[in-house]
Amino acid sequence: MSKKQKMSGAEAFVECLNKEQVEVIFGIPGGALLPIYDELYDSDIRHILVRHEQAAAHAADGYARVTGKVGVCIATSGPGATNLVTGLANAYMDSVPMVAFTGQVPTSMIGNDAFQEANITGITLPITKHNYLVKDAKMLPDIMREAFYIASTGRPGPVLIDLPKDVQTDAIEFEYPKSIKLRGYKPTSKGHPLQIKKAAKVIMEAERPIIYAGGGVVISGAHAELLALAETLMAPVTTTLLGIGAFPGAHPLSLGMVGMHGTKYANYAMTESDLIIAVGARFDDRVTGRLDGFAPNAKVIHIDIDAAEISKNVAAHIPIVGDAKNILTELIKEIKRKPKSKWNEKIEKWQKEFPLEYDRKSKELKPQYVVEQIYDMCPDAIITTEVGQNQMWAAQYFKYAKPRTFITSGGLGTMGYGFPAAIGAKVGCPDKTVIDIAGDGSFQMNSQELATAVINDIPVKVAILNNKFLGMVRQWQEMFYDKRYSATRLDTSPDFTKLAEAYGALGIEVTKPGEVRDAIKEALASDKPVVIDFKVAPEENVFPMVPAGAAINEVIDYGGKI
């Protein structure tokens, strides 16, 4: 029988974080969090003060994605809490394990429109996996234990805990619960053996199989099993944006990314396949394009831990619910080696015929060239991205060898994500080079975090592909709205090198292709946070491109017009 200790809710909060082995939390204090911050003051938990709560959430998210651990962030009641909302929605869409804490007005004042009161559990209901309002300090240990468990198991996601001020000061008898009692929450982990046998049979019969791997492979840690499956079957592998890194990008069986800005050969292979083996991927509309044109002759094996993803968008012939690593391990035992086939040859021909391309001879500084040089000089870096063209080029022109090295906002597409996520990633993996491949628009949504990076000595690098436009939107305006560039010009951006220097970071400007490598070298050599302002060709477009409403084999090639 363990001894119970008397302590305040705030002390219990810190104790619970210790029990969950939380090493770092990102946040900003406020009136409703004073008791907790007072406890944090002499705890061993590292607290990183950010400059905007949105960044706290994204940093926790970036930390979680690179380490696989639960990311933790904290914000005060009212505006602090509402500032977390975008970060929570982002983590929810991309299935990121996170626990967010918010201060709340005292329980006696809840519902009175008290100063800095916001109904944050109500607001975040649709964008959290679960949330709690702690009404009694005695409940806190159970709730915290449950929250970390829910966030990190099954299909991961963010969980929010709202902490009224009196709950932080009330005294309780503390004991960390040994077990969790959740009648309504039992994630499936093992796949059904009969379904796996059925899948193996269909796989052995298929002539044109394709493996379609998503973020679930990364979450599950199933990359080694995926590689074994692909090599045994000689099956080509395409990944989603969030599946990048789940399969080595430079592997001969790799087709790169599928979908709207995927490679032409991935989209052709998907369309002509007779079997799609989907692993931890959710048939997002960016991937499928027009549904009736999507892989019309393919049977679908769908492996996913979330039953609700199965047959949501594309009907599955053989659903297997469970953890990807478990299921692939069993599946591999049921299949036999296959030789190289006509299908492989056909795909190799497409790969030769339709490589990713841009005008390499141009004297202009091309954004794709910048990404290629970053890849060449630090292929093992962790890359985070902002949203837009920069994100797509970072996905296309860098060949990620390992999972958890490409960190991007996929489902929500949150501009301003990449920089704070890079900070979180660097905190999680201090020995790795972390580079945010950024856009000039997105970077300005959280550039205030330069202060966080400098003051806390978190030397992330930001490579701004500065095209002086909200480029992705401009591209659509160019192609579909007669080049009417409504509200997409960013000519009035600040001088990013000076901005970096104002915060105490290093700023480097690059205007010519010949300067790219020296600038990257200098940035890597510096022990400070660095911003490189690459002044790239302003009206460069992302290709290949599947226009909205088209099937994914209806691809517009480089320089193409609609």
Ligand X SMILES: Cc1ncc(C[n+]2csc(CCOP(=O)(O)OP(=O)(O)O)c2C)c(N)n1
Q: Determine the interface stretch with Mg ion among 95-103, 197-205, 287-295, 459-467 (rule: CB under 5 A).
A: 459-467
For the beta sheet containing 530-535, the strands, ordered from the edge strand earlier in sequence to the opposite edge, are 406-407, 382-385, 434-439, 461-466, 530-535, 506-510
Q: Determine the interface stretch with another protein among 109-117, 179-187, 419-427, 496-504 (rule: CB under 8 A).
A: 179-187
Tell me the backbone φ, ψ of residue 135, rounded to 5 degrees. -100, -10
Buried-exposed string 508-530: b where 16+ CB fall within 10 A, e elsewhere = bbbeebeebeebbeebbeeebbb
Residue among 233, 257, 464, 530 that touches ligand FAD (CB under 6 A): 257
Helices 471-480 and 389-396, interaxial angle, to 10°? 100
3-class SS string, 9-53: HHHHHHHHHHHCCCCEEEECCCHHHHHHHHHHHCCCCEEEECCCH
The answer to whether residue 441 forms part of the interface with ligand X (CB under 6 A) is yes
CA-CA distance, 377 to 405, in Å (whole number)?
A: 15
Residue among 10, 28, 99, 281 that touches ligand FAD (CB under 6 A): 281
CA-CA distance, 118 to 221, in Å (whole number)?
A: 38
User: Which 138-167 residues touch another protein, going by CB under 8 A?
Assistant: 150
CA nearest neighbour of 302 among 291, 292, 289, 314: 314
Q: Determine the interface stretch with ligand X among 50-58, 117-125, 333-341, 466-474 (rule: CB under 6 A).
A: 466-474
The answer to whether residue 467 forms part of the interface with ligand X (CB under 6 A) is yes
The site partner of 414 among ligand FAD, another protein, ligand X, none (C-beta below 5 to 8 Å per kind) is: ligand X
The answer to whether residue 126 forms part of the interface with another protein (CB under 8 A) is yes
Buried-exposed string 531-555: b where 16+ CB fall within 10 A, e elsewhere = bbbbbbbeebbbbbbbeeebbbbeb
Cβ–Cβ under 8 Å, residues 78 and 110: no
Residue among 79, 111, 122, 430 that touches another protein (CB under 8 A): 122
Output 147 or 505, the one with its CB closest to another protein. Answer: 147
The site partner of 125 among ligand FAD, another protein, ligand X, none (C-beta below 5 to 8 Å per kind) is: another protein
The site partner of 439 among another protein, ligand FAD, Mg ion, none (C-beta below 5 to 8 Å per kind) is: Mg ion
CA nearest neighbour of 142 among 168, 99, 181: 181
Output 27 or 319, the one with its CB closest to ligand FAD. Answer: 319
DSSP annotation of 521: H
The answer to whether residue 300 forms part of the interface with ligand FAD (CB under 6 A) is no
Cβ–Cβ under 8 Å, residues 420 and 442: no
The answer to whether residue 467 forms part of the interface with Mg ion (CB under 5 A) is yes
Taking residues 470 to 499 in sequence order and writing x for each that binds ligand X by CB under 6 A, - otherwise, the string is: xxxx--------------------------
* 165 included as an active-site residue: yes
Output 49 or 125, the one with its CB closest to another protein. Answer: 125
Output 176 or 185, the one with its CB closest to another protein. Answer: 185
Alpha helices in 125-263 (DSSP H): 140-152, 165-169, 193-205, 215-220, 223-233
How many residues in the chain? Answer: 562
DSSP annotation of 443: H
CA nearest neighbour of 545 among 289, 234, 163: 289
Q: Please state the closest distance from residue 327 (CB atom) to ligand FAD, in A.
A: 7
The site partner of 156 among ligand X, another protein, Mg ion, none (C-beta below 5 to 8 Å per kind) is: none
Residue among 249, 280, 439, 441 that touches ligand FAD (CB under 6 A): 280
Q: To which H or E segment does residue 401 belong? A: none
Would you tell me which residues interact with another protein (CB under 8 A)? 121-122, 125-126, 129-130, 133, 150, 182-185, 306-308, 311-312
Q: Residues interacting with ligand X, by CB under 6 A? A: 386-390, 413-415, 439-442, 465, 467, 469-473
| Residues tagged active-site | 53, 115-116, 165, 472
**Binding residues for Mg ion (CB under 5 A):** 439-441, 467, 469, 471
